[in-house]
Amino acid sequence: MAKGKMKGVTCIERNGSVYGYARTDGHRVYCGQGDKGKKLAEAGRAKYVGKQYENREMNAGLKIKKVEFKTIKDLSNWYMQLPTVQAKKGYYRKVNATGHLLRYFGNKPLHSAEGGDQEHYRNQFVIKGDKKIPVG
């Protein structure tokens, strides 16, 4: 790969020091001094250009945007709104089962859900004497 200047990255020399700037959103952003500043400017510009391409692909319908889930409730709501899930025969049974799960797990962060939680959920119904566990 040929060494050259990256478009959108400017290095300005003042009083013997080199300062790196990256152009993002039509503005010049200061990134640092020396080689480190230049590398940060190039990385910032590369990230900006990558995001522009991603936005073009999404606008053209070529790419689907990722959805971030923070809680178990967010994940459940997203899943139950999928047209393929709503079209299934057992959709209303899933709605009822989801209600039981959300009563137990609620707004718990998604990353904190573990296998032990599921086992504790099952044991709760065994202790009560229920023969049928709503979901599990």
Integer CA distances (angstroms), 95 to 78, 103, 114, 131, in order: 12, 12, 22, 21
pLDDT digits 0-9 by tens, 18-67: 899 998 888 888 888 988 988 888 888 888 888 888 777 777 766 666 67
Helix axes 115-128, 91-105, angle to 10 degrees: 100
CA–CA separation, 9 vs 102, rounded Å?
A: 50
CA–CA separation, 9 vs 34, rounded Å?
A: 13
CA–CA separation, 32 vs 46, rounded Å?
A: 16
Of 49-53, 71-75, 119-123, the range with the lowest mean pLDDT is 119-123
Residues 92, 103, 72, 119, CA torsion sign: negative
Domain ranges of the chain: 9-59, 72-128
Confidence label for 116 from pLDDT (cuts 50, 70 and 90): confident
Q: Residue 13 forms beta bridges with which residues?
A: 18
The amino acid at 92: Y
Block residue for tokens 């039509």: 26
Helix axes 72-80, 91-105, angle to 10 degrees: 170
Tokens at 73, concatenated: 């409730």
pLDDT on residue 131: 60
pTM equals 0.44
pLDDT at residue 2 above 50? Answer: no
CA–CA separation, 73 vs 109, rounded Å?
A: 9
